[in-house]
Structure 1
Amino acid sequence: MAVVSWKEILLLTGLVVGCYWNSLSCGFVFDDVSAILDNKDLRPTTPIRNLFLNDFWGTPMAEERSHKSYRPLTVLTFRLNYLFSELSAASYHLLNVVLHAVVCVLFLRVCRLFLDKTSSLVAALLFAVHPIHTEAVTGVVGRAELLSSIFLLAAFLAYTKSTSADRSIVWAPIALTVVLVAAATLCKEQGITVVGICCVHEVFVAQGFTLPMLLHTMRQVLQGKDGFPYAVLQTLLKLIVLVISTLLLVIVRVQVIQSQLPVFTRFDNPAAVSSTPTRQLTFNYLLPVNAWLLLNPSELCCDWTMGTIPLVESLLDLRNLATLVFYTFLGLLAYHSLRYRHSSARTVIMALSLIVLPFIPASNLFFPVGFVVAERVLYVPSMGFCVLVAHGFRIVSHKGQLKKISWLMIGVLLTTHAVKTFNRNWDWESEYTLFTSALKVNKNNAKLWNNVGHALENQHNYARALRYFLQATRVQPDDIGAHMNVGRTYKNLNKSREAEEAYLVAKSLMPQVIPGKKYATRVAPNHLNVYINLANLIRANDSRLEEADQLYRQAISMRRDPEFLTSRANRTETPPLLLKMNKLTEARDAYLRALELDRANADLWYNLAIVNIEMKDPSEALKNFNHALELSPRHKLALFNSALLMQESGDENLSLM
């Protein structure tokens, strides 16, 4: 196997830097906000062990609202970024660019196993510049793909050295492979699929089996006509070790997520909640959609959820032809690679394994995922695609009359892809540029209209934001969140009547509570805020306090857990609604129940102290002010009110407490 030269490393690195240097001027957008800006696990004050207890977004794995994405090693790199530069986005983007360059070099090394020196370099160059990678490289959260790919490729390279010259097993590379697979999985879940790639390589490349040969050997053994050859026994032993290691990793992974899958709504993945045959037809149609993104990455979109891709509801839908063509082409490639032993067949089978196996976790085959299409999950599958393109280039370039044309075509392809990638990076400069670019590709996704509205809202441009939120309600009339956004924006524009009307529409879309059925599994938890928002709006009218209180109670009755603790706090915020209604005991009890769920919340202790003052219990109030200050020494309101309480009381014993 030819090694990678320094010239090739410099060429790949230079190309990556040339394509992605403008990403350093981009900020934190889309999922970066939750993973970086809002994630307390990045802060030095958070214990390191929390990274191994929480999901990718900083939510405890045990909580129902957890996304169940367990990637502590990726979060650890975010934390290192924060340690050196806090929230300077440039450093996060710079590390992503460096990691992409490392992946490209490792990929070139892997390509040398199946391709000659020239075509393997073509594959690596195409991978370096492919526009489908902008989401994984320029989007900071795409680091999960980058890190997982590094360990995945390293694990595969280690495994290829597990057989010695005399065909005996070398156990050290296998042990290293298992460790690297575990590391890849701790960066992103799809890292575990490298085990399948290793198995394909072992059987069809290292041992040189074809599918007919494999079936014949198994039939001979089952009929007792022949035993397993020594080489086959060696192969079986290695594969058994890999499979057992994989099963152990899966078991640990299942335990980490508390044996629960994340809760997604029908807006995240509409086909997942559709009936037969719509679900199957749509999921199968998504395969050629992903393949087309690799072939023609011209219209890229950061969010493919909701109505981006209409459901395929009938066998007569013409889009089924695309599915048929995709499976026909895939079947022909598989037939070619599994039936023959020549080098071309081995290259194709490894390319197919790189395409298919890493994509399986995102295919909805075993469990529904929270997206329709996600460009960054194509990062590893695109490696197999690049191998196929380079293999085709090698075949064509060896034909004398087509050699110059093939070189011209590959040059044009690399140039156009590099330009597309560079231009696509500018879309990730801000949330406004990202979502407006997505709307140019797709106008049927209400989430995109909402997100542009949010970006304008953050700029305090409420009038323009309202237009986008209203358009979201037109595109998706049953989108509760869109109507909530309209209501909030009307409130910011001081249009209380219109705000209330919008909230009432959102409330009417909420599913009715079914006794004995867990409500949270049927609706996104944040949608319950419609009750809180509506109550906060109408409580300004003293004649509607009871109505507001009823809405708070309704929200609280639907979720009695820490995730919805804010509803309890809102219900008794300062000036406390229940105090305003002269329900002092109920206000105190509400705070005490909230503190049972979250005793580390300084605001709850502070508000409880305010209730104690109203109940003429200064000693208890001061004690609760002190609790708040222990948790948050800079809690200005607690400091001021505790000092004021001691001064006004004139009680020397109280001031010494």
Structure 2
Amino acid sequence: MAVVSWKEICLLTGLVVGCYWNSLFCGFVFDDVSAILDNKDLRPTTPLKNLFLNDFWGTPMSEERSHKSYRPLTVLTFRLNYLFSELSSSSYHLLNVVLHAVVCVLFLHFCRLLLDRSTSLIAALLFAVHPIHTEAVTGVVGRAELLSSIFLLAAFLAYTKSKGADHSIVWTPIISTVFLVAVATLCKEQGITVIGICCIYEVFVAQGFTLPMLIDTLLQVLRGKDGFPYAVLQTLLKLIVLIISTLLLVIVRVQVIQSQLPVFTRFDNPAAVSSTPTRQLTFNYLLPVNAWLLLNPSELCCDWTMGTIPLVESLLDPRNLATVVFYAMLSLLAYHSLWYGHSSSKIVMMALSLIVLPFIPASNLLFPVGFVVAERVLYVPSMGFCVLVAHGFKLLSQRGGLKKTSWLLMGVLLTTHAVKTFNRNWDWESEYMLFTSALKVNRNNAKLWNNVGHALENQNSYERALRYFLQATRVQPDDIGAHMNVGRTYKNLNKSREAEDAYLIAKSLMPQIIPGKKYATRVAPNHLNVYINLANLIRANDSRLEEADQLYRQAISMRPDFKQAYISRGELLLKMNKPSEAKDAYLRALELDHTNADLWYNLAIVNIEMKDPSEALRNFNRALDLNPRHKLALFNSALLMQESGVPENSLILKA
């Protein structure tokens, strides 16, 4: 294996910086908002242990609304960013660019195991500039892919050193491999798939087996004609260690998510809730869609959910032809790599393992995931794609009259990809730019219309936002969230009647109670806010307070752990002069979240209404223990002390 030179490292690093330097001017957009801006796990005041108890978005793994994405080491790097620069987005983007450069160098090391010096460099250069990576590199949440890829490649490179000069097993690299796999998995779940890549490398590359040879060896052993050769026994032992390690990691992973898959709505992944054969036809069609994005990354989109890709509902759908062609090509490549023992087949074998295995967890074929297509999950599979392209380029350039033409084509490909990547980065500068660029690719996704509306709403441009929200309801009439957005915007425009009508439409789309029938249904937690929003709107009218209370109680009946419903109901009950019931509502909310300073403050206000100043003072102090700068608690506590004649020394210390 040729050693990677400093010149090659500098070339790759320079190319990455050239393609991605403008990403440093981008802000936090899309999923970054939830993972960075709204994630309390990044704050120094949050205990470090919370990173290992919560999911990627800061939600406790035990809660149903958790996405079950357990990536504590990735969140730890976000926390380090916050420690140095708080919420300055440029530092987060800079670290992503650095990590991408590291992945490119490690990938070059990987390619050197299979390809010659120039071909491996071509593969690494193509990987460095491929536009499909903009979501993983320029989107801050894509760091999960970057970190996982670093440890995935490091684990594989460590494993390649597990064979001694006398063909004995060297255990230190294997132990390192298992450790690095575990670390990769703590960065993102797909890191565990490198175990499969190591197994394929061991059998078909290191040991040089072809599928016919492997079958013949197994048959001879089963017939008792011969025992396993020593080299084969060594291989089996290594594979057993890898497989057992994988099983242990899977068991731990299942325990972490408490044996529950996350809850996704049909808007996130319409095919997941479709019947046979629509579900199977659609999920299989998504494979050639992803392959086409690698081949032709000209139209990239940040969100492929909802109606972006219409369901494949019939065998007569012409899109099934793309599925057939994809499987035919995959089968031909697999046949070439499994049946022949020359170097080309080994290259194809390893390329296919990189394409297929890391993609399987995101393919929807084994279990549903929360998206239809996500460009950032193609980060590792694109490595295998780049190996295939570079290998094809080498074969083409070796043909006499095609050498200059092939080099010219490769130069054009690298240049156009680099320019596309650089320009695509600007789309991530702001949410408005990102989602409007997505609408140029796809106008059938209501989520995109909603997100442009949200971006305009954040700029207080409510009239323009309303137009986008209304278009979302036209694109997807049964989208509860879109109607809720319309209602909220009408409220911001002081159009209460129109707001109520929009909320009522959203409420009518919620699962309805069927008299005389019992059934269970799963409701997206954010959709339950329609009851809160509607109740908050109508309780402005004193004659409709009971109606508002009924809505709060309905939300609680649908989800007994709905904290906000208890809080809002407590405020209403206080307004209705029912302090005892308001106290019960706040106590129930505190059972769900006892670290909320506002809740202790609200409870103290109820205590004052119930003529219990000593209990009120205790609850004000609890609020101040949690948030020493809680202005309302400070003011009311001081006022209460003054009225009751209690010394204010303790309060002064808190202030």
TM surpasses 0.5: yes
Instruction: Please give the alpha-carbon distance, in whole angstroms, between the structure 1 residues aligned to 2:595 and 2:524.
Output: 26
- Which residue does the alignment assign to 1:231? 231
1:580, CA displacement in angstroms? 2.2
Give 1:591's aligned residue: 586
Tell me, in whole angstroms, the C-alpha distance in 2 between the residues paired with 1:489 and 1:334. 54
State the distance in 1 between where 2:573 and 2:518 align: 29
CA distance in 2, matches of 1:425, 1:2: 34
Residue 599 (structure 1) shift: 1.8
* Maintained 8 Å contact 2:269/2:371: yes
Inter-partner Cα distance in structure 1 for 2:650 and 2:626: 20
1:641 positional shift? 1.1
**Alpha-carbon distance in 2 for matches of 1:332, 1:549:** 65
The CA deviation at 1:213 is 0.6
Residues 389-444 of structure 1: per-residue CA shift (max 9 Å, x gap): 00000101011100000000000000000000000000000000000000000000
Equivalent in the alignment of 2:129: 129
Match of 2:470 in 1: 470
Aligned to 2:567: 569
Alignment of 1:200-599 (within 5 A): 200-513=200-513, 517-519=519-521, 522-561=522-561, 564-573=562-571, 577-599=572-594
> Cα offset for 1:365?
2.0
Deviation at 1:21, TM superposition (A): 0.3
Q: How far off is 1:518 after superposition?
A: 5.0
Deviation at 1:513, TM superposition (A): 4.2
Contact 1:628 1:638 in 2 (8 A): yes
Deviates more, 1:527-536 or 1:584-593: 584-593
> Are 1:629 and 2:616 an aligned pair?
no
1:278–1:313 Cα contact (<8 Å) kept: yes
- 8 Å CA contact 1:646–1:655 kept in 2: the answer is no
TM-score, scaled to structure 2: 0.98
Alpha-carbon distance in structure 2 between the residues aligned to 1:87 and 1:450 = 25
Q: C-alpha separation between the residues in 1 aligned to 2:649 and 2:104?
A: 67
Partners in 1 of 2:648 and 2:96 — Cα distance? 57
Question: 1:254 and 1:548 mapped to 2: Cα distance?
Answer: 41
**Which residue of 597, 609, 612 corresponds with 1:602?**
597
- Deviation of the 1:603 alpha carbon: 1.1
* 1:366 CA displacement: 1.7
Give, in angstroms, the shift of residue 652 of structure 1: 4.9
1:93 equivalent to 2:88? Answer no
**8 Å Cα contact 1:278/1:311 also seen in 2:** yes
CA distance in structure 1 between the partners assigned to 2:559 and 2:518 by the alignment: 13
Q: Does structure 2 retain, via aligned residues, the 8 Å contact 1:307–1:446?
A: yes
Pair 59,392 (structure 1): closer, same or farther in 2 beyond 3 Å: same
Q: Does the C-alpha gap of structure 1 residues 490 and 109 become closer, same or farther in structure 2, counting only changes over 3 Å?
A: same
User: Which residue of structure 2 aligns with residue 52 of structure 1?
Assistant: 52
Range 115-124 or range 219-228, more displaced: 219-228
What amino acid does structure 2 have at the position aligned with 1:581? M
Instruction: State the alpha-carbon separation in 2 of the partners of residues 142 and 653 from structure 1.
Output: 54
Identity %: 86
User: Which shows bigger deviation, 498-507 or 218-227?
Assistant: 218-227
Unaligned runs of 5+ in 2: none
Deviation at residue 547 of structure 1 after TM alignment? 0.4
Asked if the contact 1:619–1:654 (Cα under 8 Å) also holds between the matched residues in 2, the reply is: no
1:572, CA displacement in angstroms? 2.0
What's 1:645 paired with? Answer: 640
What is the CA–CA distance in structure 1 between the aligned matches of 2:648 and 2:83, rounded to whole Å? 43
Task: Report the residue type matching 2:286 in the other structure.
Answer: L
Distance in 2, Cα, partners of 1:501 & 1:615: 37
Listed one character per residue, the Cα deviations across residues 254-288 of structure 1 (whole Å, up to 9, x for unaligned) are 11111111000111111111000000000000000
Unaligned runs of 5+ in 1: none
C-alpha separation in 1, matches of 2:620 and 2:518: 40
2: CA distance between counterparts of 1:655 and 1:178? 58
CA distance in structure 2 between the aligned counterparts of 1:111 and 1:306, rounded to whole angstroms: 38
Question: Residue 572 of structure 1 aligns to a residue in which SS?
Answer: helix
Partners of 2:299 and 2:207 in 1: CA distance = 42
Question: Contact 2:350 / 2:384 at 8 angstroms: preserved in 1?
Answer: yes
State the match for 1:15 in structure 2: 15
| Shift of residue 648, structure 1, vs aligned partner | 2.8
User: What residue number does 2:610 align with?
Assistant: 615
Give the structure-1-normalised TM-score.
0.97
1:367-406 residue CA offsets vs partner (Å, 9 max, x unmatched): 1000000000000000000000000001010111000000
Amino acid at match of 1:454: H
Looking at structure 1, the residues matched to 124 and 322 of structure 2 have their Cα atoms a distance apart, in angstroms, of 28
CA-to-aligned-CA distance 1:563-610 (integer Å, 9 cap, x gap): x2111111123xxx2122221211111112222222221111111111
User: Distance between the aligned counterparts of 2:60 and 2:307, measured in 1?
Assistant: 31
Aligned-partner Cα distance in 2 for 1:653–1:595:
28
Tell me how far apart the structure 1 counterparts of residues 281 and 486 of structure 2 sit (CA, whole Å). 35
Taking structure 1 as reference, are residues 199 and 616 closer, same or farther at Cα in structure 2, changes over 3 Å only?
same
Distance 2:112 2:622 in 1: 64
Shift of 1:46: 1.0
CA distance in 2: counterparts of 1:458 and 1:181, whole angstroms: 41
Of 601-610 and 4-13, more deviation after overlay is shown by: 601-610
1:646 offset after TM fit, Å?
2.5
Q: For each residue in 1:611-657, what CA deviation from the matched residue of structure 2 results, as whole angstroms up to 9, or x when unmatched?
A: 121122222222221221122111111111122222234x4589999
Q: 1:117 to 1:643 in 2, by over 3 A?
A: same
Match of 2:24 in 1: 24
Write out per-residue CA displacement over residues 502-533 of structure 1, whole angstroms, 9 at most, x where no aligned residue. Answer: 000000000024776555xx221010000000
CA contact (8 A) 2:641 2:647 kept: no
Instruction: State the shift of 1:362 in Å.
Output: 0.4
